[in-house]
Amino acid sequence: MGKDLIQQSFLKKQEAGEKLFIPYIMAGDGGLDILEERIDYLHQCGAAAIELGIPFSDPVADGPTIQDAGLRALNKGTSLGSVLNVLKESSERRSVPIILMTYLNPIFVYGIEKFASDCKQAGVDGVIIPDLPLEEEAIIDKLLYKNSIAFIRLAAMTSTKERVLELAKRSEGFLYAVSVTGTTGPRATHEQEVKDYLRMLKQESAVPVLAGFGVSTEVQARELSSYCDGVIVGSKIVDLFHKGQLEEIKGLIQNSVKYEVNS
């Protein structure tokens, strides 16, 4: 269903009075044979969508926790093709949106046109490509559109306001607001500058705004969500899965979606 499934899932959560929570997991961390099981578990816990990372040898936007997960997945032979094959096998049974996060190089090697087509066949609903700049999007944006796959853009605090507004205008599904300067991973606090930034994006974006990078606790998730539509949590979820702490994942998701409003 592509971008329509993302919209439907988000509306359902928002109509229930919840904020949006998207957990990130690394495909192949722990083996591809448990991927479907993990997706199902996160859905049951209340995830509005699931961001699925493709392991890559040079993950420039990722902190140590996700880098380590990527190495574990690569060591098990995980590839873009093998992930898409697993997703295709379970696509008919799946009702939670899948957002694929991959760097450009694996797509380029796989074949850009084949990637877009196979994503549709695998039931991928959205794609994030963190190292593809605005100026070079033409190599893939029309192919994703043709296959009804949302092209989700990242907006960084270090960008000019003009550039951020262009990203907000172009983003489909949701706008990924990078709420730190640096790589992914836990942060102790988020400054007022971040909250003002999220509030500005929320005012300017036609699609939901979700804050990611540096969100690791339910307190942080609820606080940031009060300035936008929800959060994306990666390193903490990856770490909890690696340690087998499933109840902690459930608690983090369910306690993070509580609705709080800031003036």
Active-site residues, by number, are 51, 62
CA distance 230 to 43: 16
- Name the burial class of residue 213, with classes exposed (0-12), middle (13-18) and buried (19+) by CB atoms within 10 angstroms of its CB: buried
Q: What is the DSSP letter of 178?
A: E
DSSP string computed for 193-212: HHHHHHHHHHHH-SS-EEEE
Element (H, E) at 50: strand 50-53
Measured in degrees and rounded to the nearest 5, phi and psi for residue 30 equal 90, -5
Instruction: Sort residue 18 into left (φ over 0), alpha (ψ -120 to 50) or beta.
Output: beta
